[in-house]
Structure 1
Amino acid sequence: MALRLDDIDYFLAVARHGQVRRAAAALGLSQPALTKGLQRLEKELGFPLFERGARGMTLTPVADQFRQRTQTLRASLGDAIKEAADLHLGAMGTLRVGVSPLYADRLLVPAFLQLHQQRPAARLRLMINLNDTLLAALRLGDLDLSINAIPRTLPDDLQALTLMKDDLCMVVREGHPLLSRRRVRLQDLADAQWMLPGPDVAARRGVEARLVEAGLPPPRVAVEVSNTAAPLSRLLAHSDLVALMSEANLAGPSGEGFAPLPFAEARFTRAIGAVTRKNHVLSPLALRFLEILKEGAQ
């Protein structure tokens, strides 16, 4: 059996995204190329990998077991390749970290400055992105650790060290018509327009779920942002859009002129932490960085 490594990566990407289109976009491939890779892999294995339906691609029971084993082996292979490359280049002091844009300045920068003082030869390879992208890169072995909001349900192959609490709030500009009401309820957002991240982002899914639970239609997204809404704060300040903002940002300079909506369902409780892979031996450099993060949080 001659399995191609890129076909394994295609399979894992489709399993993660649930659609060929999204997986191809994430990998930077055309859909026909990815589909051809899946067909090639199914032919080599001798069994179908996905059940194809109107809502996307669902793993067959056999393929689900295959995915679990393959994902672990793929991450280990990625580590072996990286270690060999690092030894060849003499770059064993490279730390690969992913971080959410919200916590780059607050958590990553002070921790790495301290690490840099202790290990001047250390190099940082940094990925700044949203949680879903960071965790996907971590699971593939492209990162040593990721600093972001910890999902309510963490994948079985990951583990997290909590560093701080930082709730996510639904916010509007000060003077927004909603704030003039005697009592604001979630139902009052039925006709609201929103500024939200894309549909694959956990925060967006959280808003959608909360509205559905209340029997309301999905949010009417007027502005969809791919990364962080901070550069678009002026847009929020001069409109009646509803958006999401972390409690820490809301309490700082970037939160001036904005107010959280005053009802319980407008708040999402979150823990922020450092996420690593289970059963993966971190380098001494990565372990020291985790220690510094933990000391800073305490």
Structure 2
Amino acid sequence: MGVRLDDIDYFLAVAHHGKVRAAAAALNVSQPAITQGLQRLEKELGFPLFERSSRGMQLTAVAVQFRERTQALRASLGDAIKEAADMHLGELGLLRVGVSPLYAQRLFVPATVALHRQRPAARLRLMLNLNDALVAALRLGDIDVSINALPGVVPPDLHALPLMDDALCLVVREHHPLLARRRLRLADLADAQWILPGPAVAARRSVEGRLAEAGLPPPRVTVEVSNTAGGQLNRLIAQSDLVSIMSEAQLDTPLGEGLAPLPMADARFTRTIGALTRKGVPLPPLAHRFLELLEETARAGTAAAKRPASRRAAKH
């Protein structure tokens, strides 16, 4: 079967940390994966690598020399891979990404940090904008990947990679008169004034559609946000009676300070966040790797990004 490279990495990590748990945490893998990898390696080599005890994992006498040789070889292999990747990238090392401001910190930044560590020769060009502008830039070929809320029906010329679920909610300032109503309904928003993005943005269309379904007129937009400055205007919501819409996850951040979600089911909009690419247009290897890192980032951050409704209720 041959020795697997990841099993060598597991062995070196356990030898360094002395415990499977610490090695798993350092490599960001599960403890069973480490244990199974060590078992495979020991079976392939034909001798035990560790003496296991309650105090941790101690290298056997034969494994001490094996570790020294393996560590040197692994370092050389890592340097060779990095050098080959840097040479291969060349002009292919430019990645053009568009991202909605809502997901820059949650998805783009962690994936980009990981990409930079793995591909230090790569260059990146970022477009930070709302989803309507991002999709337009993607279709024009100005960006390779767009990270934003996926449309309910993906256009036939685009390919969607779902990453995580998120929710938008209607928000007002704390102690807003609407929050004092005993039984809040959408009809109570008929006379409200709003701060919303432009009419081509999906969030705005979601609000308009929800009001239309209830037989209500479109929102009275007092402040229309047509660029990426929306997050900087949340203080305007907190200091006025305007109604707006924001990511549910943002309510736990400084951007959500002084704001509260409207307590009704119709004020919440669930949606899927993902990466869009152009169908039929080959992606460079760098873009493929970035998409893989986005998936890893989303899997790792989904549980932390979600916030139980009971906690929001307790806060507000």
After TM superposition, is the score higher than 0.5? yes
Matched residues in 2 for 1:232 and 1:139: separation?
Answer: 29
Q: Which amino acid aligns with 2:179?
A: L
1:47-66 superposed matches below 5 A: none
SS in 2 for 1:121: coil
After TM superposition, the structure 1 stretch with the greater mean CA deviation from structure 2, 234-243 or 250-259, is 250-259
Shift of 1:291: 0.8
Matched residues in 2 for 1:122 and 1:185: separation?
Answer: 51
1:113-192 superposed matches below 5 A: 113-192=113-192
SS in 2 for 1:135: helix
Superposed CA deviations along residues 177-212 of structure 1, whole A, max 9, x for unmatched, are 000010100000000000011112121111112111
Write out the 4+ residue segments of structure 1 that deviate beyond 2 Å after TM superposition.
Answer: none
Superposed CA deviations along residues 27-79 of structure 1, whole A, max 9, x for unmatched, are xxxxxxxxxxxxxxxxxxxxxxxxxxxxxxxxxxxxxxxxxxxxxxxxxxxxx
Shift of 1:266: 0.8
Matched residues in 2 for 1:92 and 1:281: separation?
Answer: 12
Shift of 1:138: 0.9
* Count of matched residue positions in the alignment of Structure 1 and Structure 2: 209
Q: RMSD value over aligned CA atoms?
A: 1.1
Q: Which amino acid aligns with 2:105?
A: D
Where does residue 241 of structure 1 map in the other structure? Answer: 242
SS in 2 for 1:91: helix
Task: Report % sequence identity.
Answer: 71
Shift of 1:175: 0.1
Shift of 1:252: 2.1
Matched residues in 1 for 2:91 and 2:109: separation?
Answer: 21
| Structure 2 residue runs without a partner (length 5+) | 1-89, 300-316
Shift of 1:276: 1.1
Where does residue 35 of structure 2 map in the other structure? Answer: none
Where does residue 289 of structure 2 map in the other structure? Answer: 288
Matched residues in 2 for 1:296 and 1:199: separation?
Answer: 31
| Structure 1 residue runs without a partner (length 5+) | 1-89
Where does residue 66 of structure 2 map in the other structure? Answer: none
Q: Which amino acid aligns with 1:278?
A: K
Shift of 1:283: 0.5
SS in 2 for 1:166: strand
Q: Which amino acid aligns with 1:292?
A: L
Matched residues in 1 for 2:119 and 2:230: separation?
Answer: 34
SS in 2 for 1:143: coil
After TM superposition, the structure 1 stretch with the greater mean CA deviation from structure 2, 225-234 or 260-269, is 225-234
Q: Which amino acid aligns with 1:203?
A: A
After TM superposition, the score normalised by the length of structure 2 is: 0.64
Matched residues in 1 for 2:207 and 2:288: separation?
Answer: 35
1:269 and 2:248 correspond: no
Where does residue 104 of structure 1 map in the other structure? Answer: 104
Matched residues in 1 for 2:219 and 2:297: separation?
Answer: 38
Q: Which amino acid aligns with 1:272?
A: I
Where does residue 93 of structure 1 map in the other structure? Answer: 93
Matched residues in 1 for 2:103 and 2:248: separation?
Answer: 12
Where does residue 62 of structure 2 map in the other structure? Answer: none
Q: Which amino acid aligns with 2:95?
A: L
Q: Which amino acid aligns with 1:247?
A: E
* Larger gyration radius, structure 1 or structure 2: 2
Matched residues in 2 for 1:256 and 1:189: separation?
Answer: 22
SS in 2 for 1:97: strand
